[in-house]
Structure 1
């Protein structure tokens, strides 16, 4: 039994997305955007106590994989988590993490 080429391509893209989510700053940015709706680079920097260059780089990575959107108004760019798939994935990820944490606290794992 072999995986089809289409499944292999999807698997590679899924792996890239999983790697993007494995970065603590990127995950924090996504959580912040989910919680607040939208934010500028400055707002993200202040909320996460991160340097502008790091935040900008991570936002670029997230935009490349269409995990966030960017809207320009004059010189200011506002970033938002607008993709329903990404919102659902993030919700499921955080919900599962909470489930694992609660299970550990009550003598599991």
Structure 2
């Protein structure tokens, strides 16, 4: 008796299951985005960089960066260098603030 299901129960169960096509499409879209950013990080060249900066992060961020390193074999310093360069390139107002500071300092 417990194994008997009404037609409505069977339909509900079928409707809640995602189709294989939907799952595959979602995974492909996620992989494309992941691949694009990961490819950009992997292609980022830090070999000409000689300057070092000591940076402090909260524990959660450090844990996340270390997990990223284990998952992708990307060094944390390379990740941080890429992130800072990307931030400065995508947020031009930061460069404007620096330019204004330099101009005001020279006077």
Whether the TM-score (by the shorter chain) exceeds 0.5 is no
Between Structure 1 and Structure 2, whose CA radius of gyration is higher?
2
As a proportion of its length, which structure holds more helix? 2
As a proportion of its length, which structure holds more strand? 1
Q: TM-score, normalised by structure 2?
A: 0.29
